[in-house]
Structure 1
Amino acid sequence: MSTVSGDEAVPDPPALPGRRWLLPSAVIHEFDPAAARPGGRPRRTARDWIVDFSCFLLAVLIGLIGADSVGDNPHVTHSAATLDQLLGAAACAAVWLRRRWPLGLAVATVPLGLLSDTAGGACMIALFTLAVHRPFRHVAWLGGVNIALVPLSLRLRPDADLPYVVTVVLAVVLMTATIGWGLLVRAKRQLMFSLRDRARRAETEAALRAEQAQRLAREAIAREMHDVLAHRLTLLSVHAGALEFRPDAPQAEVARAAGVIRESAHEALQDLREIIGVLRAGDHDDTGRPQPTLAALDTLVAESREAGMKVTLDTRVTDPAAVPASVGRTAYRIAQEGLTNARKHAPGTEVTVTVTGGPGEGLVMTVRNPAPDGEVPHVPGSGQGLIGLTERATLAGGRLEHGVDADGAFRVRAWLPCG
């Protein structure tokens, strides 16, 4: 099953592995929308709880170190140390809110970091969370404010063991490293989302390419079906219609028509096998029967004459052997369709098939028949033959024209590149 976004079909996200608890909630929310709560906020995974608890323990551990340092600092009074520890405890408890309000927590820890050494660990975790979950502009502003306040904070509560400059440098380096680590984690997550989106787009494009290939294959089947079978089935229709309207015809004529019907049905089955074989295996089918080329025009004309048509073939190709097989096959199909149409719509008329040209100048194929005398019996057809021929000639790099001449004759003329 796949979802649709706009005009583009997007496949469903890939199935998550069994150890999904190792993934952060943001990643699971991207891969599995069902993991989100009704409000849209992703649920915490087991990994999230482990990470949050580790961050809380780290904040508490750093807070205890800071509280001990503040208690032993002769520059800090007892009441100031007590306030420092209380603010640090509140900051450590607020670490549990870092996923829901990362920006608010980072803003709240700015004054806490200025007033409390015990809140130092919570302030670092708040900056790290901000760098992971929010855009860089927020990180730049709040990170810059925190770094700018470091000298003032250490001026208010100088370290009892290290020089002032050293403590400022260490604090700035530690804060910068924390922000950089958070930005690295965010960049890795964005890369993961980008790769996932690229994979989904690749799947979509592959599905569209497969669908297009399937559609082209269907069109090729339909085109070959029409071009090949219409010729045979028209013979069946014409001779079966003759038997229907002339039940009192001489025995020899009835036997001849029945023979043409049998032979046409046999040839239609052979052509059908040939089409399927070509679509599966290329230019030759499984039986080794070649596709018709320009050299097969004589056989096509002979079959039409045996069916009772009057056909004149005029072939003036300078070098028939140099005509590519694909061009010859297209010319054969044009002649076949022209003879089929003449048999259906102008029975009894003389059809002229002319082939001229050669390599370097192109191949010119003309099928012409005069207007029929009297009323012509209706023979059903799809009406798509000439459209298919035009498309076939265009795909071969040529062009096809058809219409009625000034004398009423119908003419099909095609030019095909050759050589």
Structure 2
Amino acid sequence: MSELPAGPSSKPARPRRSARDWVVDSVAFAVAVLIGLVLYTDGEQDSVSHWLLAADFYVGMAFCLTLWFRRRWPVQLALVGAVVSAFSESSGIAALMMILTVAIYRPFRITLLVFAANAVCLLAYIEIRNKPDDPAAVLITAAALYVAVAGWGLYIRSRRQLLQTLRDRADRAETVARLEAEQGQLRAREEIAREMHDVLGHRLSLLSVHAGALAYRPDASTEEVAGAAEIIRASAHQALQDLREVIGVLRAPVGELPHPAFADLPALVEGSRAAGIPVELTLDAPGALPEHVGRTAYRIVQEGLTNAVKHAPGEPVRISVTGAPGNGLSVELVNPAPNRRRGDGQGLKGLSERAALVEGRVEHGRTPEGDFRLYAWLPWPA
């Protein structure tokens, strides 16, 4: 019996007989017919008419054939079996199998209904088959058989429901694991995208500044052209190295992505100064800064310098990084801004996301003097 029992309120689907079902149904039919013939032979000794014996045999054998359809109409055939068993002993085993099928495939209340119908027909059987000598023994024996068969069917039903529940839980756990894996991949892609934006954006912005200077200085001396070309070459080489590094970590776990540290902040500023950007740095953050907070501060300064190069090339940039344990870390970048800023704002949006991950905040906008101000506050536990 490969089909699972239908729920209390669900409509059972038409069963599809598997190879195992064919074997089970064949064995059930053969057993019902053989035992039915034995019972019929014993029943010939009852003091009943010949036409009743004939009806017992033919109706009983015909009812055994209905075992092939017991999964499709279990309740209907079980009620028919109860009526037939009232006069036919050869159908007794087939009727018990119908009770077993109802207990497996239908709710408990329907099993009780079929059980009650068989109990009523049992009383009619005692009267019709003229068994006045030991009616109590017949009642007890038949009731014990009914209870045993129904109990066995209920056990099979409960076991199948338990197995189905376990399979459903396993399927749900597999689905949850797959969704978590997809979310992890999405977070990994977002982190890699931020790394590529932060690392390459800064390098390429510096390279663009020097390339633009060469384009707008056709009267530059040979020494100036050579110096600018050398800076462009070094910046392009470093950008290529950064690109190789980012692409290389695509094959590594997300936790192994290379990240800069807060201690690298002065080197970042010196690199911008070497590229010709006047940067004024105020760094006052004594104490052991948490790694994730320091890394976020570095990325904020890096993005601020990148925006300054893109939108206000050659203009001075004032950077202030101050804080202490228990008070938090403040990062501020101020530089002159043109009346119209270009870009889609993805870098600033990424900074807000970075700050939110460490429970900080980012603000940006114009000062009363018309400069552009990028401010971030990051927590620094005591």
* Cα deviation 1:359-399 (Å, max 9, x = unaligned): 21111100111245xx99x9x85531111111111112100
Q: Name the residue aligned to 2:301.
A: 335
TM-score, with length taken from structure 2: 0.89
Q: Name the residue aligned to 1:229.
A: 200
State yes or no: 1:415 paired with 2:355.
Answer: no
Q: Name the residue aligned to 2:358.
A: 396
Q: Name the residue aligned to 2:347.
A: 385
Name the amino acid aligned to 2:142. A
Equivalent of residue 360 in structure 1, options 326, 332, 341: 326
* Cα deviation 1:25-81 (Å, max 9, x = unaligned): 536xxxxxxxxxxxx74442232222112111221122122212221124x343333
Secondary structure (helix, strand or coil) at the match of 2:86 reads: helix
Q: Name the residue aligned to 1:180.
A: 151
d(CA) in 1 for partners of 2:14, 2:249 = 56
Secondary structure (helix, strand or coil) at the match of 1:149 reads: helix
d(CA) in 1 for partners of 2:310, 2:263 = 25
- 1:191 positional shift: 3.2
Secondary structure (helix, strand or coil) at the match of 1:367 reads: strand
Q: Name the residue aligned to 1:347.
A: 313
Asked whether the equivalents of residues 400 and 412 of structure 1 are also in contact (C-alpha less than 8 Å), the reply is yes
d(CA) in 2 for partners of 1:304, 1:329 = 18
Give 1:148-167 correspondences, 5 Å limit.
148-157=120-129, 159=131, 163-167=134-138
Name the amino acid aligned to 1:412. L
Secondary structure (helix, strand or coil) at the match of 2:284 reads: strand
Equivalent of residue 318 in structure 1, options 271, 277, 286: 286
Q: Name the residue aligned to 1:195.
A: 166
Name the amino acid aligned to 1:179. A
Structure 2: gaps (5+ residues): 5-12
Cα distance change of structure 1 residues 132 and 381 upon mapping to structure 2, 3 Å threshold: same
Q: Name the residue aligned to 1:111.
A: 83
Q: Name the residue aligned to 2:33.
A: 60
Name the amino acid aligned to 1:205. V
Structure 1: gaps (5+ residues): 1-23, 28-39
Secondary structure (helix, strand or coil) at the match of 1:26 reads: coil
d(CA) in 2 for partners of 1:292, 1:157 = 96
Q: Name the residue aligned to 2:8.
A: none
Cα distance change of structure 1 residues 119 and 283 upon mapping to structure 2, 3 Å threshold: closer
Q: Which structure carries more relative contact order (alpha carbon 8 Å, separation 6+)? A: 2
d(CA) in 2 for partners of 1:218, 1:291 = 15
d(CA) in 2 for partners of 1:215, 1:396 = 19
d(CA) in 2 for partners of 1:48, 1:281 = 49
Name the amino acid aligned to 1:108. V
The aligned length equals 372
Equivalent of residue 212 in structure 2, options 214, 238, 241: 241
- 1:249 positional shift: 1.0
Q: Name the residue aligned to 2:237.
A: 266
Moved more, 48-57 or 149-158: 149-158
Asked whether the equivalents of residues 158 and 164 of structure 1 are also in contact (C-alpha less than 8 Å), the reply is no
CA RMSD of aligned residues (A): 2.4
Name the amino acid aligned to 2:71. R
d(CA) in 2 for partners of 1:189, 1:351 = 72
Aligned-residue identity in percent: 50
Q: Name the residue aligned to 1:73.
A: 46
d(CA) in 1 for partners of 2:260, 2:83 = 88
Give 1:125-164 correspondences, 5 Å limit.
125-157=97-129, 159=131, 163-164=134-135
Name the amino acid aligned to 2:259. Q
- 1:349 positional shift: 2.0
Cα distance change of structure 1 residues 256 and 386 upon mapping to structure 2, 3 Å threshold: same
Asked whether the equivalents of residues 64 and 91 of structure 2 are also in contact (C-alpha less than 8 Å), the reply is yes
* Cα deviation 1:89-120 (Å, max 9, x = unaligned): 22223222223322221121121111222221
Q: Name the residue aligned to 1:219.
A: 190
TM-score, with length taken from structure 1: 0.82
Cα distance change of structure 1 residues 283 and 125 upon mapping to structure 2, 3 Å threshold: closer
Moved more, 48-57 or 405-414: 48-57
